[in-house]
Structure 1
Amino acid sequence: MPLDRRRLIGSSLVALAAGPARAGTPPGREPPTSRPAGSLELAIAADASSTPTGLAIARGGRMFVMMPRFTGAEPVTLGEVLPDGSVKPYPDAAANRPDPKAPHATLFHVPNGVFDRDDTLWVLDAGLPEGKGTPVPGGAKIVAIDIAQNRILRSIPLEAGVVAQSSLNDLRVDRRDGRSLAYVTDQGQAGAGAILAVDLDSGRVVRRLDGHPSTRSEDGLVKFVERRPVMERKGDARPKSPKGGANGIALSPDGTRLYYAPLMSRRLYAVDTAALRDPDIPEATVAAAVRDLGEKGMTGGLTTDAKDRVYLSLQEHNAVGRRLPDGTVEVLAADDRLIWADTFWITPDRWLYISAAQVNRRPEFNRGEDLQRPPYAILRMRIDANPVI
């Protein structure tokens, strides 16, 4: 590692460990709040080679991050975080070299992944060649990986559920009580989203709520992160808000309900999973069953606990929120290190982890300048409930 990079990482680690800054506020003079937010602690600083949007943690503690290829030049899209914070290609470097001639065996653009109860790692590959454009034929897929043997077990094609403007984003897997199912959000490259319901045994893929208001990017919204609007800025062109349809998803504890939200929206939605995956149910019937659960802030990733509470990555507030079953939204913790709060993970010992992806610092939002500063913080806090899966 070159000396200048060691210094950069070292200074970043000091800043991460120091906790949230309160510049300009004398000690003991913080403004009063009606309900003080809790605190987060630094679990690890991941020295990822590019933007780590996804996070998954095995029952034994092994940690994995997913780094979408936003430009196509990123060297690694799926990595394992080692105890010293370094990130190695996973399952190996060869699998991370995208090959259009072997689309089922190599990884193109991985935004997220999850573990099931058997500790199999399920990875979503959007199959995008350069973060955009038509998905590579055969490239959009769900990949099952045996982490004990560090090898790919199988690949389930998603081609039947993608369109030319697809941008698959988030994944949930439900393998229990004889079920073997997956749900995938498609945020769309122009904001027109959808949800894919996948039978992992048969490989059947059903595309649902395509272009429905609950899966579409809302117009007229501006997202603020680190006290600045997140706007696409290219040359002298007028800045514009990014588009982002169906993004974060979460399953209810019994697997009968899917919570979801567009990236560019302040509302949370829910729909019955049985309706999503049954191809004989008319699309109009599925659309009529969608429930608008009200406002929840601007979020990225979602997750649920065993008490059916939905955790919210409150990106505008560098905070973790939680929606209770009665609709109440509470702020659990806030931390200036939580830059672009993204993916949650709940471990069996009741730690809630969340990644700070720094997406707002990417070049496309800063007139071509990359303001990301690795390592990337992965923070955590204690909660009072078990994970759903």
Structure 2
Amino acid sequence: MSFARLSLARRHLLAGGLAALALPAVAAEGGSPAPGGTAVASRKASPMELALAANAPSTPTGLAISHKGRVFVMMPRFTGKEPITVGEVSPDGSVKAYPDQATNTPDAGQPQATFFHVPNGVFAPDDSLWLLDSGLPEGKGAPVPGGAKLVQMDLATNRIVRMIPLEAGVTPTSSLNDLRVEVRAGRQRAYITDQGQGEDGAILAVDLATGQVARRLSEHASTKSQKGVVKFVEERPVMQTKGDGPPQHPKGGANGIALSPDGTRLYYAPLMARRLYSVETAGLLDPKVTDTEVAATVKDLGEKGMTGGLTTDSKDRVYLSLQEHNAVGRRDPDGTITVIASDPRLIWADTFWITADRWLYISGAQVNRRPEFNHGKDLQQPPYAILRMRIDADPVDGLSQ
């Protein structure tokens, strides 16, 4: 599917009466100094356009677009009742199981051949699709033995060509969340965030050549969920509700990740925290480097708002999914943050993708509308918006988005 077809699909969907997704972009974000010394640029936010409206059967948090324009969404199994966890989006917005329904039917007897809970996936430079399976049976609990894995898909045959177990890097309270793949001469690696199911998170580093897995920054402050922090989306605090009990603050450790263009630093941030961090990648897979030495390379990069996904461009600028503002932010290497786009359809801004022709795509996952945040009532309103805007930089060579 070409990007020209994406545009045609967009016009077709709008003509079909998707009024709720045809709203104009909202205007500006002002500027003021942010905590931690981060500079905030004041400018008018750019508009976004609707690339696709995905009729996903459940919450699509992940987004990946192939070189030839095939679009995929990843739908975590928050309850275990979700029919599929990986889907391909057609030009008309329909979503079908990828690669098929059988693979999307979790089977504890075949944990390395079926998908349990896939929150994200990325394309490697060779256009193979790497999927991250957290191995969670119902979005919580201990990962199914053998279920946590990286799966490489060949788009030409739509078959699994490789599977890398992540058993060595997970714990009974793991919730693997986001993924980046780096493939260049003499270096084949994956980096994964473990959001955790409580306050603690971690970073996993994987050698794709050998299958070595290292768990780093476990219980480090930079991967932890920040206590007491409240996230506001669509002008309401996001609080977990269950029965008649009082609302609870949701928790979420290391979530979004991105790599610097040279691959030397990994950017990351907890889901429930307002600060951005980075760590040197050189020691993550080196058994001679201690956890203390890895932690010494962590940098607190300051305030960045409440975000989900992150990505970088060829100018080493970090894009921020500003969930509280239905907006896209961009952090320059000098620390300046600019709100570059805002749109009311971008509900729970989540996963980014940058294409070779300089389109920045982002998904609106509507996570805040899920039943667990609304006294058991599902307020999600499919189709889910996949928006895009032009940027002035390229994707990073050798890296997935």
Interval containing the TM-score (normalised by the shorter chain): over 0.9
Report matched runs for 1:31-50 at 5 Å: 34-50=42-58
SS in 2 for 1:274: coil
Distance in 1, Cα, partners of 2:29 & 2:342: 15
Is residue 2:22 matched to residue 1:14? no
Matched residue type, 1:217: S
**Secondary structure class of the residue paired with 1:342:** strand
C-alpha offsets along residues 53-87 of structure 1, whole Å, 9 cap, x if unaligned?
00000000000000000000000100000111000
Amino acid at match of 2:23: A
CA contact (8 A) 2:175 2:197 kept: yes
The amino acid that maps onto 1:13 is L
Residue matched to 1:150: 158
Contact between 1:235 and 1:367, CA under 8 Å: does it hold in 2?
yes
Q: Which amino acid aligns with 1:325?
A: P
Aligned-residue Cα RMSD (Å) equals 1.6
TM superposition shift of 1:18: 3.1
Matched, 1:306 2:325: no
State the Cα deviation string for residues 175-226 of structure 1 (Å, max 9, x = none): 1112110000000000200000001111110000001000000001000000
Q: Which residue of 1 aligns with 2:136?
A: 128
Measure how far apart 1:317 and its partner are: 0.3
Inter-partner Cα distance in structure 2 for 1:342 and 1:191: 21
* Cα distance in structure 2, aligned partners of 1:44 and 1:17: 11
TM alignment of 1:99-114, pairs within 5 A: 99-114=107-122
Look up the match of 1:188: 196
Shift of 1:12: 7.3
Q: Deviations over 1:329-362 (max 9, x none)?
A: 0000000000000000000000000000000000
Q: Which amino acid letter does the alignment assign opposite residue 340 of structure 2?
A: L
Q: Is 1:232 aligned with 2:240?
A: yes
Residue 19 of structure 1, CA deviation: 2.9
Deviation of the 1:256 alpha carbon: 1.0
Q: Distance in 2 between matches of 1:20 and 1:225?
A: 17
Aligned residues: 374
Residue 27 of structure 1 is matched in structure 2 by none
Q: Does 1:320 align with 2:320?
A: no
Mapped contact 1:109–1:131 kept (Cα < 8 A): yes
One-letter identity of the residue aligned with 2:274:
R
Shift of 1:20: 4.4
Unaligned runs of 5+ in 1: 1-8, 23-29
Aligned counterpart in structure 2 of residue 140 of structure 1, from 131, 138, 148: 148
Q: Does the 8 Å contact 1:53/1:65 carry over to 2?
A: yes
Residue 11 of structure 1: how far off its partner (Å) = 8.3
Q: For residues 295-345 of structure 1, give each alpha carbon's deviation from its aligned partner in whole angstroms, at most 9, with x where no partner exists.
A: 000000000000000000000000000000000000000000000000000
Alignment of 1:235-254 (within 5 A): 235-254=243-262
SS, match of residue 276 in structure 1: coil
Which residue of 2 is the match for residue 296 of structure 1? 304
- Confirm or deny: 8 A CA contact 1:12 1:374 kept in the other structure: no
What CA distance in whole angstroms lies between the structure 2 residues aligned with 1:333 and 1:158? 36
For residues 1-389 of structure 1, what are the structure 2 equivalents within 5 Å?
13-20=18-25, 34-388=42-396, 389=399
State the AA in 1 paired with 2:24.
Answer: G
Gaps of at least 5 residues in structure 2 are: 1-13, 32-41
**In the superposition, relative to structure 1, how do residues 125 and 12 fare at CA in structure 2: closer, same or farther (>3 Å)?**
farther
**TM superposition outliers: structure 1 runs of 4+ over 4 Å:** 9-12, 30-34
